[in-house]
Amino acid sequence: MSDNNNNNKQTYDIYRDSNLRFLGYSNEVGEAFRQLWPKHIVNLTYGIAVAYVLADTADKGIKAHEKQGSTNKDVAIRAGDVLTWQMFASVIIPGYTINRLTKGTSYLVKRFKVPNARYIPTAIGLASIPFIISPIDKLVDYLMDEIYRKYLK
């Protein structure tokens, strides 16, 4: 999700353009390690991801508020858009995807009695993260444009 200013020039966004962005993917790492880590550690990774989402939402809401001529409705729409997009693109869909992928891999390695397979589901989950990000972002962009944003204009 790009964030452009009035001149349509790309501006630097610490939540999107820096390594801080990786905090939004912490729950995917937690899901990849779900079978190896205690549940409270996996839950902590979700807390980190949601904190990142809320910080980005607050940042975009504040920037919308500071924009000359903005209304409370403009601020709410911008913050709601960021919150919805980030929750689906950074937390819900990727977390579910990695969860199912590692669960399925775990089932297969047990079913086929793969020796020393304890770390295979985690490795597959971690390796898949870079490959799922862009398709999920594009899917959420599409769904937001067709369902959410269409009715807010």
Which tokens belong to 65? 């508020």
Convert the pLDDT of each residue in 47-93 to its tens digit. Answer: 999 999 999 999 999 999 999 999 999 999 999 999 999 999 999 99
In 3D space, the residue among 92, 104, 88, 98 whose CA is nearest the CA of residue 143 turns out to be 88
Q: Write down the pLDDT at residue 3.
A: 45
Q: The dihedral of CA 102, 107, 110, 113: what is its sign?
A: negative
Convert the pLDDT of each residue in 31-47 to its tens digit. Answer: 999 999 999 999 999 99
Tell me the Cα Rg of the chain: 18
Convert the pLDDT of each residue in 94-116 to its tens digit. Answer: 999 999 999 999 999 999 999 98
User: How many Cα atoms occupy the beta-carbon half-sphere of 109 within 13 Å?
Assistant: 16
